[in-house]
Amino acid sequence: MSTIADNIAQVEARIRAAALAVQRDVTSVHLLAVSKTKPAAALRDAYAAGLRDFGENYLQEARAKQVELADLPLCWHFIGPIQSNKTRDIAEHFAWVHSVDRLKIAQRLSEQRPDGLPPLNICIQVNVSGEASKSGCAPADLPALAHAISALPRLTLRGLMAIPEPTDERAEQDAAFAKVRELQEGLNMGLDTLSMGMSHDLESAIAQGATWVRIGTALFGARDYSQA
Ligand SMILES: *Cc1c(COP(=O)(O)O)cnc(C)c1O
């Protein structure tokens, strides 16, 4: 087995164990392979080993890989910070955006989503770590933002995304992810998606209801930003 196939098997085993531990159906947890800084060849290996959904943070880098991998039926997710001047490319070339945290960006994505494509799936990134994190909508602003986004014609609001402060304390992980789930429940909008959990905390995220875990390091190894 290639290293990536081996890593995928290990991550899938962690996901299964985490779902089993809280009696969740494992098919309700989806694996998003976070491929930022990794070459197209690594994504091709992951595809060969069965993965279809890939998450990218940097538009230019993502577009280059999309062109290189155009022969594969991949599903692309944008998960990084979004500048206004990048929305058109995102609207045209991705199926999901996990990192929407303000209405202006959502409005542009809706206006720029091509008619021939299905609505763009959206998660609102919420900031559940207060001062510690700068991206993400404040919990107090979430209901108004969620209702405004759900009214936009070319978007489908699916749920929430969060990147809590990293910690090795399971109780702290659980508390942060539980807060995201409670915020989603509080909206009472029938949303089906919680995008939360990364390589170090996927067990906690799954215990608290994650439907997408976004995994980079555990699949592809450590990232080397000096080469990026
Ligand atoms: C890089 C990144 C991940 C993956 O993190 P790992 O710790 O490498 O699994 C997940 N989500 C977002 C938004 C990221 O930027």
> 224: which residues sit within 8 A by CB, 6+ positions away?
37
pLDDT at 2: 65
CB 128 within 8 A of CB 139: yes
Q: Assess whether the C-beta atom of 196 lies below 6 angstroms from ligand 1.
A: no
On whether the pTM is more than 0.85, the answer is: yes
CA–CA separation, 210 vs 197, rounded Å? 7
Confidence grade of residue 20 (pLDDT, cut at 50, 70, 90): very high
Domain ranges for the chain: 4-219
Q: How far is the CA of 7 from the centre of ligand 1 (A)?
A: 16
pLDDT at 206: 98
Q: Assess whether the C-beta atom of 198 lies below 6 angstroms from ligand 1.
A: yes
Q: Assess whether the C-beta atom of 97 lies below 6 angstroms from ligand 1.
A: no
Q: Assess whether the C-beta atom of 197 lies below 6 angstroms from ligand 1.
A: no
Number of neighbouring beta carbons within 10 Å of residue 171: 9
Q: How far is the CA of 107 from the centre of ligand 1 (A)?
A: 26
Q: Assess whether the C-beta atom of 11 lies below 6 angstroms from ligand 1.
A: no
Q: Assess whether the C-beta atom of 36 lies below 6 angstroms from ligand 1.
A: yes
Query: Alpha-carbon torsion 191, 130, 174, 202, what sign?
Result: positive
Q: How far is the CA of 116 from the centre of ligand 1 (A)?
A: 31
The DSSP bridge partners found for residue 137 are 126
Q: How far is the CA of 115 from the centre of ligand 1 (A)?
A: 31
On the 0-12 / 13-18 / 19+ scale of CB atoms within 10 A, 127 is buried
- The CATH class, in words, for 4-219 is alpha beta
> Beta-strand (E) ranges in the chain?
30-34, 53-56, 75-78, 96-100, 120-125, 155-161, 193-195, 212-215
Q: Assess whether the C-beta atom of 216 lies below 6 angstroms from ligand 1.
A: yes
Give the residue carrying structure tokens 């215990």: 207
Using the CB atoms, write b or e for 187-218: b if 16+ within 10 Å: beeebebbbbbbbebbbbbbbbbbbbbbbbeb
Q: Assess whether the C-beta atom of 133 lies below 6 angstroms from ligand 1.
A: no
The DSSP bridge partners found for residue 71 are none
Number of neighbouring beta carbons within 10 Å of residue 141: 16
> Beta-strand (E) ranges in 37-129?
53-56, 75-78, 96-100, 120-125
More confident residue, 115 or 131: 115
Residue range 130-165, pLDDT digits in tens: 877 778 999 999 999 999 999 999 999 999 999 999
Q: Which atom of ligand 1 is nearest to the CA of 218?
A: 9
